[in-house]
Amino acid sequence: MIAYDVPDTLTIRRISFNDLPADWATQETTTQAIGDGWLDLAAEALLFVPSIIVPIASAADRNVLINHRVAEVASIKIAETCNFTLDPRLFRL
């Protein structure tokens, strides 16, 4: 896991569960198209998206995508790194 130091002035876009179709978790191409469009527009530096692993709207953790096509991302600094291991039970069939 990586913690970043992100300036408050960075442009961001947030996608909530309400912004996605009800069946978003099974519509990979739909969510990929949203991400591709965001990347191509290069209007915001960060995109906060719901987690498919923890699909709880009130969860504090979010996945954050960094758009390398936006110049202001150069101001993002790595604040901390730590080892992270997924629970092996997630991989049981």
Q: Is residue 55 scored above 80 in pLDDT? A: no
| The overall pTM is greater than 0.85 | no
Closest CA to 47 of 29, 26, 32: 32
- The DSSP code sequence of 42-61 is T--SEEEE--SSS--TT-S-
pLDDT, one tens digit per residue, over 76-85 is: 999 999 888 8
- The DSSP code sequence of 13-38 is EE--GGGS-TTGGG-HHHHHHHHHHH
Report pLDDT for 85: 84
pLDDT, one tens digit per residue, over 5-54 is: 999 999 999 998 888 888 888 888 988 999 999 999 999 999 999 877 76
Report pLDDT for 50: 86
- What strands lie across the sheet with 12-14, from one edge to the other? 12-14, 46-49, 63-66
Report pLDDT for 18: 87
b/e map 13-31, b = 16+ CB within 10 Å: bebeeeebeeebeeeeeeb
Report pLDDT for 63: 86
CA distances from 1 to 38, 70, 84, 88 (A): 24, 23, 6, 17
- Pairwise pLDDT comparison (90 vs 6), residue with the higher score: 6
